[in-house]
Amino acid sequence: MKLGLAFCLFFALNSIAIADPEWRTSLSLGVEPKYGDNFTHYDYVNVNAPKGGTFNDSRTGTFNSFNPYIVTGTPAAGFSSRGGGEQYDTLMAPSTEETSVNYPLIAEAAQYPDDFSWVKFRLNKKARWHDGRPITAEDVVWSFNVLKSNSPFFNNYYHSVKKAEKTGENEVTFLFEEKGNRELPYVMGQMPVLPQHWWEGTDETGKKRDITAPTLEIPLGSGPYKVESFVAGKSITWKRVTNYWAADLPVNRGRFNFDKEHYSYFLDPNAAWEAFKKGNLVDWNLENRIQRWNQSYDFPAVKNGQVIRRSFAFHGSGRMQGLFINTRRPQFADRRVRQALSLAFDFESLNKSMFFNDYHRISSYFDGLDLAAKGLPQGKELEILETVKDEVPAEVFTTPFSNPVYDKPDSSRRYLTEAMRLLNEAGWHLEQNRLVNKKGEVFTLEVMLSDMAFERATAPFIANLQRLGINASMRVVDTSQYQNREANFDFDLVIKVIGQSDSPGNEQLEYWGSKAADRPGSYNVAGIKNPAVDKLIERVIYAKDREELVAATRALDRVLLWNYYVIPQWYAEHLNIAYWDKFGIPEPQPEASGVDIPSWWVKKDKN
């Protein structure tokens, strides 16, 4: 691979002079990138896909901001709080075909030393904002500082990044607090870049813009689309940028084919479903209700072939989906209580009676990946767990974790009897068929839901809890209230999905780390504050190689499981999608992402 410079640049880092390593046209974590220097486009795309037409999508709730990088306000569809979205390009683009691989976007190459103490990005001189001005190293440095200052997510995600510096005309270097964090170069490659000159300018009224506040002024961007129009809180339309600077880069060729993307907002998912059935307003539906998938797709448009149903293989990531228990609430502080709640969850009956036996039970925080804990710990994993032995449940070392399996006639009686024993040990007892503590306080629990469709699947769990004497209930709230209550941890139990990559790292601090537990809007909705978990996350982040990463992640998984912070639910091995017959779709769609909607196009006769 050719070096981008004819000379060797040195700079001081921790008082040590370090020579430039080779420039890389991809960043990866533990895997060999599929594409090398001859990368021209993803294999599956149609590089001759026609441009045109409108992609109509739906969202529930509302929006009141075009600034996704702050806590206040609800960002509109197309604005991503963690990546670039439609509006902003990132330094490098995550591969749609591979997990944990980045390819060039704003940055055409990157370099980092063997000790992972810094990463440098060389910017593409052709990179432009929509106003034609170049994307500069100053923009990158300013974006890093703004994101870390104003976004709780990025503040935590970038906590190990000491500073960003312009180290060349088109070069930016990120200096890290410590050596050995193999993920940080990759993480920084996915940083969105914001236009400093626009945000530090004034609006049409002469008022200085404020990136720390919500706004409905359409911001300047650099991505494949820009906002064309919107109705506050109700809809937003994005228009393809015809002179998009990166249209011919390998990661974009054959993609972003729709002339427009239109998002309509609905009060609840059922309203969006009805709009999809009628057509025009909503073009597709990612169906997450297996009962509806099997029983409700009998409307006329399906019967006459106007709506197509397909299942797409999806094997690109792991996940934890379940009922997250708010351990900030006193009744859930005791691990034995949380275990008792878990014992009351009967998945097998649900799968048989409601899910057509199409789902699988989740049994790991990294379900679907080789990072999931298996059997008893041994080898490197055992060695890592020994460092926190006095801080974790004894079962971590003696018993393989397993969910209760309701597969026998006496399963319900057996598991609920065990649950009551645990509740008794934790200081709760039955008094006139009500579970109370020594103060006479009744054990009360509410499962907060965002969709009435979840009620049927939650009701059997509520019934089992009531059999234990718990004053258990469930409540459906509207989308905006749900988001607000979850962000402020105002709930007992809530359903949530946490996706996982094949190369976990810094994001684990946001999911399970103590520092994120009390920060409003964090992903640590369970409120986990566990020193052993914190230590194991650090082992994951600073793993020296793939073997150690797998061992550390399995150790973390095992400790999380045995603390019963989440009651695992279920998953499907495919994505069920229905769409109106207006699209051309390149085949096969990438399994790493399930489907890549930007690679679709509107058929010419459907425009």
pLDDT in the model for residue 14: 36
pLDDT for 415-455, tens place per residue? 999 999 999 999 999 999 999 999 999 999 999 999 888 99
Q: Does residue 211 lie in a domain region?
A: no
pLDDT at 472 over 60: yes
pLDDT in the model for residue 31: 78
96 with 195, same domain: the answer is: yes
169 with 241, same domain: the answer is: no
pLDDT for 287-309, tens place per residue? 988 999 999 999 999 999 999 99
- Say what percent of the chain tops pLDDT 90: 86
Average pLDDT, the chain: 93
pLDDT in the model for residue 593: 85
C-alpha–C-alpha distance, residues 406 and 343, integer Å: 10
274 with 143, same domain: the answer is: no
Q: Does residue 9 lie in a domain region?
A: no
pLDDT in the model for residue 554: 98
The rounded radius of gyration (Å) of the Cα atoms in the chain is 25
Average pLDDT over residues 153-157: 89
C-alpha–C-alpha distance, residues 505 and 601, integer Å: 35
pLDDT at 313 over 90: no
Average pLDDT over residues 567-571: 96
147 with 77, same domain: the answer is: yes
5 confidence band (pLDDT: 50, 70, 90): very low
Q: How far is CA 342 from CA 335, 356, 404, 418, 564, in A?
A: 11, 23, 8, 11, 7
323 with 308, same domain: the answer is: no
Q: What is the DSSP letter of 536?
A: H
Nearest to 544 by CA among 183, 187, 176, 23: 183
Average pLDDT over residues 536-557: 96
**Higher-scoring residue by pLDDT: 114, 156:** 114
Q: Does residue 10 lie in a domain region?
A: no
C-alpha–C-alpha distance, residues 61 and 63, integer Å: 7
pLDDT in the model for residue 238: 98
Dump the DSSP string for 335-347.
HHHHHHHHHT--H
184 with 282, same domain: the answer is: no
Q: Which domain holds residue 107?
A: 23-48+55-200
pLDDT at 4 over 70: no
Q: How far is CA 229 from CA 63, 240, 262, 263, 543, in A?
A: 14, 12, 9, 11, 47
384 with 454, same domain: the answer is: yes
Altogether, the residues listed in the chain come to a count of: 607
- Taking phi over 0 as left and psi of -120 to 50 as alpha, with beta for the rest, 352 belongs to alpha
pLDDT in the model for residue 539: 97
489 confidence band (pLDDT: 50, 70, 90): very high
Average pLDDT over residues 399-415: 97
pLDDT for 496-505, tens place per residue? 999 998 889 9
316 confidence band (pLDDT: 50, 70, 90): low
Strand partners, 319: 367, 499
Task: Tell me the residue type at 235.
Answer: S
Compute, in degrees rounded to 10, the torsion defined by CA atoms 27, 32, 38, 44. Answer: -100
C-alpha–C-alpha distance, residues 53 and 600, integer Å: 11
241 with 146, same domain: the answer is: no
Nearest to 453 by CA among 265, 275, 292, 319: 292
C-alpha–C-alpha distance, residues 19 and 113, integer Å: 8
pLDDT in the model for residue 10: 28
**Higher-scoring residue by pLDDT: 149, 3:** 149
Q: Does residue 205 lie in a domain region?
A: no
Burial of 467 (0-12, 13-18, 19+ CB in 10 A): middle
Q: What is the layout of strands, in order, in the sheet containing 107-111?
A: 107-111, 118-123, 171-176, 161-168
Q: Which ranges constitute the DSSP H helices of 324-443?
A: 335-343, 347-353, 379-386, 395-398, 411-425
pLDDT in the model for residue 2: 32
Per the CB < 8 A criterion, the answer to whether 165 and 173 are in contact is yes
pLDDT in the model for residue 85: 81
* Strand runs labelled E in 422-518: 429-431, 434-436, 444-449, 471-476, 493-500
pTM of the model: 0.85
- Kindly state the tokens that stand for 376: 């008893």
Strand partners, 208: 202
pLDDT in the model for residue 591: 86
As for how many domains the chain has, the answer is 3
Average pLDDT over residues 178-200: 95
Q: Does residue 6 lie in a domain region?
A: no
pLDDT at 83 over 90: no
pLDDT in the model for residue 327: 98
Instruction: Please confirm whether the linkage preceding 330 is cis (ω < 30° from 0).
Output: no
> What CATH number corresponds to the domain at position 283?
3.40.190.10
15 confidence band (pLDDT: 50, 70, 90): very low
> What CATH number corresponds to the domain at position 529?
3.10.105.10
pLDDT for 365-377, tens place per residue? 999 899 999 999 9
Q: Does residue 417 lie in a domain region?
A: yes
pLDDT at 548 over 60: yes
pLDDT for 274-283, tens place per residue? 999 999 999 9
